[in-house]
Every structure is written in C-alpha cells, then in structure tokens.
Amino acid sequence: MPVCARTSEGAARVKAWRPSSVVIVPVLVCAFVGGFSSTPVLAQKPEVWNAPPSGDASTISKPVDETIDRVWMQNPPRDPAKALKNPEDDGSCLLPPLTLVRSPMVGTTHLQIPAKARKEYDDACAALKDKKTENAEKHLRKAAQEYPKYSAAWVTLGQVLAAQQHNDEARVACSQGSTADSNYVPAYLCLADIAVREKAWDEVLKLSSRALEIDPTTNAIAYEYNAAANLRNNKLDEAEKSALRALDIDKNHREPRVHFVLAQIYEAKGDRANEAAQLREYLKFASNPDDVAMVRQYLSQLEPGK
C-alpha cells in the first residue's frame, strides 16, 4: 500500500507499491483494469519515517488520488480467468472484486432470461476462463442483445471493456446494467470502479452510497469504495467507519485491500500504531515474497527497533 515517506527537505512523497498480480491487460485497476498493468509496481526503499501531522488527508505525502487507485489495483487481479461461476448468486461470472458481492438477481427477472441469452452468457464465461477476451466480449454483447434486461451480462461486459481501458464504453455497459435492474448492486460498483480510475471521488461516494442503500449488511466492497472516497474527501472518521465495517463483513478476509485503505486513513490521522497494525494484518494474507518483504520494510520504518 502506498505509505508515506518524508525526505530530508521535508517534502512528502508517497512510495506506492502494490502486490504482484495478474491483471487483464491491457485495470481497474491502477489499479484493477483501470490503469491496468501486467507488472507490479513496487516502491523504492522508503526514507526515514517521520510522523505526519494529524487530522487531514492532505498531510499524506502525495495526493490521495494518486495513491488510492494503486491501492485499488493491489487485490484482486482483474483477470478474466478468475471470472468463475458463483453458484451462491445468479450464475454470473463477474470479474473480481464483484465476485464477492452477494447480490442475486430479482427472482422473476432471473427466470425470464431466454435460453439463448443464457447460453451466450455461459459461452462468454467459458471464454473468459480460457482467457479468450475477444470471444467473451462478442458473446456478452449477444447475450445483452438477446435480453436487454440481462444485468449480469451488461456488467460483465462493462468489466471486460474496462479491463481493456475502454472506459467510456464500459461506463455505458455498466449503466445499462443498473437501468435493467435498479437494485442490481454490481452495476453501481462497476461504475464506481471506473470512477476510481478517473479519480472522480464524489462519483465514487455517490455510487457506493447507492449500493449500500440497496444492501447495507453484506456488501463489504461497497464499504471499501465508500471508505476510499471519504478519505479522498478528507472525511476521515466516515472513512474509518466504512473501512472497519468492510472488515467486519469480510470475516474470511477475501478482500485484503481494505487494510491498505485503513493504513492510509491512520496515516492521515497521525496514528502510527494503527497504521502499522493494518500493515501487519495484510501480512497475514500476503503470499508473494516481494510483497511481504516490502511491507516488512515499511514496518521497520514505522516501528524502529522491533
């Protein structure tokens, strides 16, 4: 996660890094398909740590909008091969992190999907699994054409387009998903994902808030987006509240990025102890040796002598 390091002149610079991951290249991010990169961006060795002033996100070494998107790209990768069927939901094969969203289609809408449209979607899922993105896109377009109310098809198409950095087309597709079903949470989070890449934090806040209106109890991803947007808007208490709620919901730690958001929130608050604690929490779930070494390096600056 981006962590602040101060230079000897007192100028603040953020040494941003993100765990290595396979992303759809051309993601959201910076990270995901938004600003996608197929190679990890690791920070250089940080300078000696000095505690930042507290209570203001502007005290974070570099603008939050230049670092949060990198946090966003950390986990999970926007890899089409990860778009596996989730039998707990509606049979969709959304890309991460939307695979974590518990938002089944409205029963009647799901039952109304024509067999031909469903087959096209299933073929798209198979193509994504085989990393045949172009074929997947064609099948998704056909599925949406066969059944314009097929929200999952629209949103999956939006994610595939976003992964190729076709943000305008992706936005249209995800918007169609919300038009087809105004209560389909993944559609709003798909749009929020695009907004993150564009650093449109007010839009991220609005979209995540809408997702939380629909599902305030099981939607860890929406709380994570909400926390990042509030952090960028210098609403640190609200940001912390949303991030902690995300952690409370995600008891299986499937979405570890939130620890980076929390660490940055605590950096803005000047709370080095909690910042270090969040980095240590991430270490519990990190598996890449380079990522582990980088976090430990930052912790050595935050906690000298430990």
Q: Look at residue 286 and tell me whether its pLDDT is greater than 80.
A: no
Average pLDDT over residues 83-87: 42
Q: Is the pLDDT of residue 55 over 50?
A: yes
> Using 50, 70 and 90 to split pLDDT, how confident is the model at 285?
confident
**Tens digit of pLDDT for each residue in 154-174?**
999 999 999 999 999 999 999
Instruction: Using the predicted structure, report yes or no on whether residue 135 has a pLDDT greater than 60.
Output: yes
What CATH architecture applies to the domain 3-302? Alpha Horseshoe (1.25)
Domain coordinates of the chain in residue numbers? Answer: 3-302
What pLDDT score was predicted for residue 173?
A: 98
Greater pLDDT, 80 or 188: 188
Residues in the chain: 306
* Contacts for 110 with CB less than 8 Å, ≥ 6 apart: 90, 104
